[in-house]
Amino acid sequence: MIPFNLIVALDSHKGIGKNGQLPWHLPADLKHFKDLTCQVQDPAKKNFVIMGRKTWGSIPEKFRPLPKRINCVLTRNKSLLFPAGVVRAENFAEALKLTQDSKLKNHIESIFVIGGAEVFKMAIQSPDCQKLYLTHLLPAFDCDVFFPPFLQDFQLTVKSPPHTENKVSYYFAEYVRRSA
Ligand SMILES: NC(=O)c1ccc[n+]([C@@H]2O[C@H](COP(=O)([O-])OP(=O)(O)OC[C@H]3O[C@@H](n4cnc5c(N)ncnc54)[C@H](OP(=O)(O)O)[C@@H]3O)[C@@H](O)[C@H]2O)c1
């Protein structure tokens, strides 16, 4: 078992993106994402973030790879090149397996799946997906990619008070996988 977490911001219809981008601009939520995915108990370690090739492509070049994290990009395209230090994987199982590699294992603290829709859909089905960090946006946005249903398999454990930013109200929530 290789336990991992998943982090996503979703609107009231579970929308998560539009035209390859986020449909909203919420700097405090981006900070929340950065804080959670960078946070380590052991300063000698980093977290391993797994993303799809389209999510990688949605990050402006100057901001990628995401700093202070080991970036892993999923792609079936063998000819795509990534900057030094970025880990590529041809499927999700390979991405998880790479975290156990002798060169990486002792340098990784936690694993986060960070999107997008195609990767979330697959990751959430894995029993190793133990915890969800969700930012629930109260409005509905115009989206073309969606987060899969999750309430049957996960239960709410933490819910923050509401925040409002750029006229958008949202709250942070944590869910854990229901025991079988
Ligand atoms: N709201 C949020 O928190 C959040 C977070 C992240 C992303 N997003 C949004 O989500 C959207 C992107 O999501 P998306 O579903 O279109 O794309 P995606 O999941 O980011 O990337 C899809 C690509 O990843 C690769 N891939 C996916 N599964 C794979 C597998 N099992 N094995 C190998 N490669 C695999 C493939 O790349 P190749 O085609 O190269 O083979 C595939 O085309 C954007 O709008 C983005 O802004 C939102």
Tens of pLDDT along 60-97? 999 999 999 999 999 999 999 999 999 999 999 999 99
- Strand 168-177 to strand 154-159: parallel, antiparallel, or no bridges (unpaired)? antiparallel
Q: Whose CA is nearest to atom 32 of ligand 1?
A: 91
Ligand 1 closest atom vs CA 94: 32
The strand ranges marked E within 12-83 are: 15-17, 46-52, 69-74
**What is the chain's length?**
180
Looking at the whole model, is its pTM more than 0.75?
yes
Return the best residue to mutate from 24, 82, 112, 119 for the ligand 1 pocket (most ligand atoms within 8 A of CB). Answer: 119
Q: Which residues line ligand 1 (CB under 6 A)?
A: 8-9, 16-17, 20-22, 52-55, 58, 74-77, 90-92, 114-119, 122, 145
Amino acid at 19: N
Cα distances from 13 to residues 61, 83, 117, 120, 132, in angstroms, run 30, 35, 14, 16, 17
| CA pair distance 107, 105, nearest whole angstrom | 5
Q: Which segments of the chain have a pLDDT < 50?
A: none
Domain 4-177, CATH number (from 3.30.70.20, 3.40.430.10, 3.90.1300.10, 3.40.50.300): 3.40.430.10
pLDDT at residue number 180: 74
pLDDT at residue number 37: 98
